[in-house]
Amino acid sequence: MESYRELDPTNVRGVVFDIDDTVTRNGVLEADAYAAMHLLAGAGFELVAVTGRPLGWTDVIARLWPVRVAVGENGAGWTWVDDAGTHEGYYCDESERAGQATLLERIRLEVESAMPHVRTTHDHRHRRCDLAFDVGESVSLPRAEIDALVALIERLGARSSVSTVHAHAVPGPWDKAEGVARAVSEVLGLDLSSEIERWVFVGDSGNDAAAFERFPKSVGVANVREHLDRLPVHPSYITDGDRGRGFAELAAYLVGARG
Ligand SMILES: [Mg+2]
């Protein structure tokens, strides 16, 4: 990983960013990071938020933050706002999502029975496409138990994805990189793969792995160092500051380079 100052800032069209521990600290959006989003949007960069948080949250984020689209549940769906109103998109169609919901309910019951101390997340009822368990938000589950939970989810037929706060059961083929590509195509009419070098991705942990792999201009905020042993692909660049401070450093660098 090189310093973010080594990233070629010329011709960058947009910034795709994770939320938890990338722009937040202890679950709260950092002032520097929110100001940085406005700085970027004001300078003409397209902003895309992508999170493991629920689609019920992206409905709010898309309305309140200066982003073009907010992708939720690690790529399962997205929300955007334009002159015609608020819209939602999904990675899978309605009939696929119905089948996935059945699988998730089975996983929820099996986990409840096999690991009764493991709880679904507080934001569970705002989710539409995935199922998430609290591993580090209001509890701190030991690593061995997280591994056991992941193994159980996978044995029951879903994929799993683990962030600093949640372990997700993922019943469909999406991930953050795939979800962002579909959302950018639907909302901005752009083929992300044909201009991937024009986009910067910023994240911090395990559920950002697919995006770190996909985006050549991938940046980890400094706290990504805590998760490198669980990341098959490391980001290309790293900020000096952690969390929202790192995001703000990167934003200032990109805006400064635009002149
Ligand atoms: Mg994160």
3-class secondary-structure state, position 258? helix
pTM: 0.94
84 CA to middle of ligand 1, Å? 31
105 CA to middle of ligand 1, Å? 25
Hey, where are the domains in the chain? 2-91+174-258, 94-170
Task: Collect residues with CB below 5 Å from ion ligand 1.
Answer: 18, 20-21, 204-205
Nearby residues of 220 by Cβ (< 8 Å), 6 or more positions away: 1, 202, 203, 204, 208, 212, 234, 235, 237, 238, 239
Task: Provide the CA 109 distance to its chain's centre, in angstroms.
Answer: 26
Record: fold of 2-91+174-258:
Rossmann fold (3.40.50)
Q: How many whole angstroms separate alpha carbon 152 and alpha carbon 148?
A: 6
pLDDT of res. 164:
81
CA distances from 248 to 10, 34, 62, 136, 198 (A): 18, 8, 20, 25, 19
Q: At residue 259, does pLDDT exceed 80?
A: no
Q: How many C-beta atoms surround the C-beta of residue 137 within 10 A? A: 19
49 CA to middle of ligand 1, Å? 11
3-class secondary-structure state, position 171? coil
Q: At residue 96, does pLDDT exceed 80?
A: yes
Average pLDDT over residues 95-119: 97
Share of the chain above pLDDT 90, in %: 94
**Across all residues in the chain, what is the average pLDDT?**
96
Residue 65 binned pLDDT confidence (cut-offs 50, 70, 90): very high
Tokens matching residue 63: 């309305």
Average pLDDT over residues 45-59: 97
Residue 199 binned pLDDT confidence (cut-offs 50, 70, 90): very high
pLDDT of res. 230:
86
Comparing 2-91+174-258 with 94-170, is the CATH topology the same?
no
Judge contact between 40 and 224, C-beta under 8 A. no
94-170 has which CATH code? 3.90.1070.10
3-class secondary-structure state, position 24? strand
